[in-house]
Amino acid sequence: MMKNKKISMKNFKIPMLGRPKNDSPLIQFTKLFIDENRRISFLRHTNEIGDCISSNKFLPSFECAGPRKKIFFNPKQINCGIVTCGGLCPGINNVIRAIVYESYEVYGVRKVYGFRYGYKGIVKENNILPVLLDTEMVNDIHKKGGTILGSSRGPQDVGKIVDYLNTLGISILFAIGGDGTLRGAADIVTEISKRGLDVSLIGIPKTIDNDISFIEKTFGFETAVEESMRVIQSAHVESKGAENGIGLVKLMGRDSGFIAAQATLANTDVNFCLVPEFQFRLEGKNGLLAMLENRLRRRKHAVIVVAEGAGQNLITKKQRKDASGNIIHEDIGIFLKNKITEYFKQKNFPFSTKYIDPSYVIRSQPANACDSQFCLQMGQNAVHAGMSGRTNMLIGYWNQHYTHVPISLAISERKKIVPESTLWQTTLSVTEQGKHR
């Protein structure tokens, strides 16, 4: 799902604040500690691993996440902070809850501050007071969608952020967010290093699009696919309820179409799946409109799923960017609806289009069972990593294991669907467009 670019041991190295000297409080009730030599292979296939071994090349691998016997910080002497940035995603509250419980109940830290409205809340001059979190406050938040801390986009003055962290005595900052959040986190780490401070920054990747590299999946993604499948089912019912009915569903996916593709496979009533990774044509014999007409003449109904970032090449407008520097995509759903309407009206062909955009409804959902369990372990492993003195990293998931991923590696490229992947080839095989390649 990503380019296999040249990588070295340096790319996988996790920075440390210093040598861990303190005994972990977990020694009292568990024997499950991670050996520092235990690593998770980045390569998946035996032929790739064999080639590395036979040619004495570096075998790329991640540190394994989990508790260490020796930790860097004395938990009873430190404060922690949590910040949530970017768009909403199922499971954010679950991660907050896991961090708070692990910090207080397992490690016994002094305080856990919750910074409100993203990085904006870590600049004292913005006058947004942090929340002092405790276990009672977060006890039921995992049952709700959104984030109790609020969120925002866009960069802030990293010097002022580090000033405020220092003022509050924050030793570990947990940053929950996507690509933009992680880039901001890397800048904060740079400023911390310049000042020679012992402050750890641990990222928990949050992107509903599942588009962060070197991570198999991010929390909220499975919930999004599950909710999207229900919407597609409704679109299918609507399409069959009218002569030449068309169910058009726009799903999340700014630059990567994983939700659209996996929701299509979860509900094989989809006839056309359009994602940002692959351009498509509207006009011509094998264009979308002609293929849609052919489908309607044969079966009298059709379902189209389109990711929000798909087909942007067809919409000629001046490029705009949001506060995080992301390109603001034009509304491909409305664009397609209008083009479909124009096409069939010109042909005097009877049709009925039902357009559904459930994006914000899905983003605000509570996490499902799978994501809830995933969020718990992401939060717990983030605390373990911070206490051990690691920094400038995020918690990942690879080959069925939780891992430590350097932020620089995670933001080096965006994860996208590749043409030869099983995911995309299967998507093509179950949709109408696969017959016209």
Active-site amino acid positions: 209
Report the amino acid identity of residue 21.
Answer: K
Report the amino acid identity of residue 133.
Answer: L
Q: What is the DSSP-derived secondary structure letter of residue 70?
A: E
Dihedrals φ, ψ of 81, to 5°? -135, 150
Report the amino acid identity of residue 94.
Answer: N
CA distance 224 to 260: 10
Report the amino acid identity of residue 23.
Answer: D
Helix axis angle for 369-387 and 92-101, nearest 10°, is 40
- Which string of DSSP letters, residue by residue, matches 222-250? HHHHHHHHHHHHHHHHHHHTSTTEEEEEE
CA distance 17 to 22: 13
Sign of the alpha-carbon dihedral angle for 6, 208, 86, 280: positive
What contacts 242, CB < 8 A, 6 or more positions away?
301, 352
Supply the Cα-derived Rg of the chain in whole angstroms: 24
C-alpha distances out from residue 115 to 178, 195, 328, 390, Å: 17, 22, 27, 21
CA proximity to 222, closest of 262, 265, 256: 262
Counting Cα atoms < 13 Å in the Cβ hemisphere of 113 gives: 23
